[in-house]
Every structure is written in structure tokens, then in C-alpha cells.
Amino acid sequence: MTGDFYMKKVIITSLAVLVIGLGLFCYFKFYFVFGEGVKAGTLNYVVRKGVVFKTYEGKLIQSGLRSGTNTGSIQSYEFDFSVEDKTLAEQLMLLGGENVELHYKEYFGVLPWRGYTRYIVDKIIMVESEAPASDSLPPISPKTLEEL
């Protein structure tokens, strides 16, 4: 009788430790914020894509150049990110080509319903619009096109 009781106690304790360990692993892998920061650059695009889970994905082109893996090649810094908030993603979609500063959170792992990257943008810090030069040509109107 005491052998069965001892064996049940060991199995229950082992299962409890396993479940708690698995829970802690999942928390730190997918929900613990590993890092936070701000990235600045030109917003290239934000798109909504996915097969099962539709997520918002974007790319920021940062100023400056770095040498690539091939000798003699030069590549720009690119920051791939995901956006969880639909409203924020729609705002970013309208800012393509603008210089922006984005606040992001970095996680250890990727969840399919959160996005394809470990970097999740959660707010826009600043938008710097490109003002047209005063000496640039005025836009062509339909009337001007007809006259040509």
C-alpha cells in the first residue's frame, strides 16, 4: 500500500514540475519582452498577409550602409517587423515612404497569430514628412495634358 502511495506521489509531483516548467518555458519564449527600443528610417511598406493567420508585416529602411556578405557589395540596413494592432497598422500603411521613428518590443520567439518576426511595433514615435522643394515643378493637371 505504501509503495503505491509513494509511486502516485512521485508521478503527480513529476507531472506538476513538468507542467510548471513547460509553462515557464512558453512564457519566456513567447510572452517575455526581451528588449525594447526605437528604430528610425524610411518606412518601405506595411502589408497584411498570411494563410491561416492574417498578420501585418512591415519593413523599415534605415539610413546608413553596411558591407554585405559578398566582398565589395554594399547593402542598406533593413528592419523587418510585425504589428499586432490593426489601427496602428492602418496608420503605418498610409505612411509608406515617410521617415518615421517606431517603438518596438522584441521577443525570444514568434507566435503565428502575432506575426512573422520577433519584433512587434507598438507605437509611432515621430513622423517626418518630406516637404516638396519650392523650386520643384508644379503637378501636371489634366488640362495641361490635353494641351500637349
Q: What is the pLDDT of residues 19-49, one digit of tens each?
A: 999 999 999 999 999 999 999 999 999 999 9
Average pLDDT over residues 62-67: 70
**Alpha-carbon distance 8 to 87, whole Å?**
52
Position 147 pLDDT exceeds 70 = no
pTM of the full structure: 0.74
Residue type, 35: G
Give the per-residue pLDDT at 104: 97
Position 145 pLDDT exceeds 60 = no
Question: What are the C-alpha distances in Å from 75 to residues 20, 41, 61, 67, 142?
Answer: 45, 15, 10, 6, 40
Measured at the CA of 112, the angle between CA 110 and CA 117, to 5 degrees, comes to 40
Give the per-residue pLDDT at 67: 59
Name the 3-class secondary structure at 22: helix
> If pLDDT is split at 50, 70 and 90, which confidence band does 148 have?
very low
Q: What is the pLDDT of residues 1-17, one digit of tens each?
A: 577 888 899 999 999 99
Q: To the nearest whole number, what is the mean pLDDT of the chain? A: 85
